Structure 1
Amino acid sequence: MADRPDAAVPSELPAPVPLERVVVALGGELRGNMGLAVRRLAALADADETSVAFVAHPRYRARLQSSRAGAVIVAPELADVALQRPDPPPGGWAAWIVADPYAQFAALTRWWRAHVQPRPAPVGVHPTAWVAPGARVHPTARLGPFAVVEDGAVVEEDAELGAHAVVQARAHVGAGTRLGPHVVLGYDCRIGARGLVHGGTVIGADGFGFAPVPLPGGEGRRWEKIEQLGAVRIGDDVEIGANCCIDRGALGDTVLEDGVKLDNLIQIGHNVHVGRHTAMAGCVGVAGSARIGAFCTLGGGAIVLGHLELADHVHISAASVVMRSILQPGQYSGIFPIDDNRAWEKNAATLRQLHALRERLKALERRTTP
């Protein structure tokens, strides 16, 4: 979601690897120091001669010129800048030229992780894990310490359950999907293939449904629970951050379509429908029965009220509150500008008077109009 010129992956390869080998694996054109061996990924400002960095936009030309990164992933228009930086090391600088440096860097991080991350847990069920007799766990799946798979649940091939993860009755984990430590996939809920759910997330908790019932004597009301009888359906290639809550539907299901990406600490209310390849930054809240289209983005802390609809390709700025349906693609913001508190209070007081001022203006117009 953030527009950053560079990023860093702190892990280093155990030994330098020829950059040319990586370029052959991932595509693009390598110019300059063809014999360069690299060991780490780094931000432009932190890189050294064994590092690979990237530049996503020409506005970062000055940062590129001063960077000590041995190789830089750049678009064609910045290739000469990358190669002609001052004080080159022996062998010179290298430029990895691609049409979309940001997408190429994403591919590189995946290649990098595959070579530096800890080896996966052995295939099979940890001795402390528990699998109900009626559950189906594929022989290639991995179940970590104290993981639980309840009756009727299915865990498909190459799936992984972290320590203390729980797959409740009749839930379904797709092939190659990873549930992190302490993740709960509620009963009857399902997640598709190649998903990733980070630790602490709960999928399929009850939605917030209560009916107000008057108390005797009319002194107030109490709340009667409305049982949440739906489930959660999540498509393929979905990533969900840490400590998110995705509520089950009241009657129908809550749905996240293919390719949805959620940051940490996100609340998705009951019966929400999120279209494919939509992304939400941290602390977004989507209230019940809202429908979010495909290819949308919601900035951090944005709120969508219940029963509203967002069309495809709608982009909501951080901290905005969506209070009406948005049926046309575009960028939308609803943020009152920050100010020092005294000025903000004056402006807020003025806002409260706008309706009265409008009525006075209309009255003056009627009196002065012939």
Structure 2
Amino acid sequence: MLKLADIVRVAGEVRPIEDAMLETVIQAAAPLDKASEGDLSFLSSAKYRRDLAATAASAVFLSEKEVEHCPEGTIALVVADPYLAYARASHLFDQRPKLTSIHPSAAVDPSATLGEGVAIGANAVVCAGVQLADGVEVGHGCVVEDNTVIGARTVLRPNVTIQHDCIIGADCVFQSGVVIGGSGFGYAPNQGRWQAIAQLGRVVIGDRVEVGANSTIDRGAIEDTVIADDVIIDNLVQLGHNVRIDEGVAMASQVGISGSTHVGAGCTIAGQAGFAGHIDIAAGSHFTGRAMVTKGTKEPGLYSSGLPATTNREWRKQIARIRQLESLQTRLQALEKKLSGETGE
């Protein structure tokens, strides 16, 4: 149970409100249309203004222009960015169980170095030469292989695998099922068979990186795979060997990036987008869902490919037109040639 003063303290700059209001008890966070007394909510888009007018929330983050729509009895927490303010306050309501000690069933090699406040869950394995900085949390069933270094306060949720010699920064979060440092897809053809190529690089990850459940980041073939600071990666994402992701990139679920591709700073990549290998993506490039990226980009901007969903009937018409393009081009070229001959050009 919190008081509104606790929420205001972490939310950022909030327009001053009466001291008595700061004693208001806040018990939970809730959407505007479902909130009741004791709940905190937010309005970040005018399309939900009707929900604001009818809300029973005790307090709402909103912008200055929405104050007039806030109902009587609801405290208006006026901020520059309501969504950001709520994001900061939301952590006060997080009830995820946190490890506070090293479980007796954890296997920790004597040569591993553990900082202050390190917590390790049941059946986790920490191998030889591993370095865990202060406040690292290794969840139940995790495996951290030899000589890996993990920075302060980084959290591995249950069943994460960090393979050997990886370097992980501070304040990162890896959700369950993540595999960091697996072998990249490298094979040489050999008379109808495939000869595996040893993957000799590492994975090097910066600070404040978050990786979603069941995502994989392959180790480099010779050089390292590198993920810079403040990158966020959704569930079920696959990054190939020697990929480089610069600062502040965000990618949604089921993105796949092939080996040795470089993604510049600040790019956003929507779900199921796929990238060919050995291409460079300019900083500030943004890709819509299911984009098929076979060439790099030289300028920032919005990029798309593929056909958006429509009715089956309309889709069949579109495909039929696409199949006619080649014959139409041939006819057009013949017509241009004929006209050119008639005019002597």
Q: Match of 2:3? A: 18
Match of 1:188 among 165, 173, 183: 165
What pairs up with 1:190-339 in 2 under 5 angstroms? 190-214=167-191, 221-339=192-310
CA positional deviation for 1:344: 2.4
Using the TM superposition, name which of 345-354 and 149-158 deviates more.
345-354
Q: Deviations over 1:50-83 (max 9, x none)?
A: 111111122322222222222110011111211x
Matching residue of 2:145: 168
Measured in 2, the distance between the counterparts of 1:24 and 1:173 equals 30
1:273 and 1:257 map into 2 onto residues whose CA distance is 8
Q: Give the equivalent residue in structure 2 for 1:96.
A: 77
Unaligned runs of 5+ in 2: none
Aligned residues of 2:111 and 2:129 also touching (Cα < 8 A): yes
**Structure 1 residue corresponding to 2:29, chosen from 31, 37, 41:** 41
Give the corresponding residue for 1:78.
66
**AA in 1 matched with 2:241:** H
| 1:21 to 1:186, Cα distance in 2 relative to 1, 3 A | closer
Identity between Structure 1 and Structure 2 (%)? 38
d(CA) in 2 for partners of 1:241, 1:263 = 4
Of 272-281 and 353-362, more deviation after overlay is shown by 353-362
Counterpart amino acid of residue 20 in structure 1: A
Residue aligned with 1:233, SS: strand
Question: Are the structure 2 counterparts of residues 20 and 136 from structure 1 closer, same or farther at C-alpha, using a change threshold of 3 Å?
Answer: closer
> Aligned to 2:33, what secondary structure does the other structure show?
helix
Question: Would you say the 8 A contact 2:255–2:271 is kept in 1?
Answer: yes
Q: 1:53 is matched by which residue type in structure 2? A: S
- Native 8 Å contact 2:100 2:117 kept in 1: no
Q: 338-347 or 315-324: which moved more?
A: 338-347
| Corresponding position: 1:29 with 2:15 | yes
CA contact (8 A) 1:241 1:265 kept: yes
**RMSD between aligned residues:** 1.8
Give the unaligned 5+ runs of structure 1: 1-14, 215-220
Out of 44, 53, 57, the residue aligned to residue 65 of structure 1 is: 53
Deviation at 1:320, TM superposition (A): 1.6
The aligned runs of 1:349-368 (5 Å cut-off) are 349-368=320-339
What is the SS of the residue equivalent to 1:315? strand
- CA shift for structure 1 position 172: 0.9
SS in 2 for 1:29: coil
CA deviations over 1:258-308 (Å, ceiling 9, x no partner) = 001011111111111111111111111111111111111111111111112
Q: Over residues 242-272 of structure 1, what are the superposed CA-to-partner deviations in whole Å (9 max), with x where a residue is unaligned?
A: 1111111111111110001011111111111
Q: TM-score, normalised by structure 1?
A: 0.87
Aligned partner letter, 2:83:
Y
Aligned counterparts, 1:107-122, within 5 A: 107-113=88-94, 116-118=95-97, 120-122=98-100
Aligned residue-pair number: 338
Tell me by how many angstroms 1:367 deviates: 1.8
Equivalent residue in structure 2 for 1:130, among 78, 87, 107: 107
Q: What is the letter of the counterpart of residue 51 of structure 2?
A: R
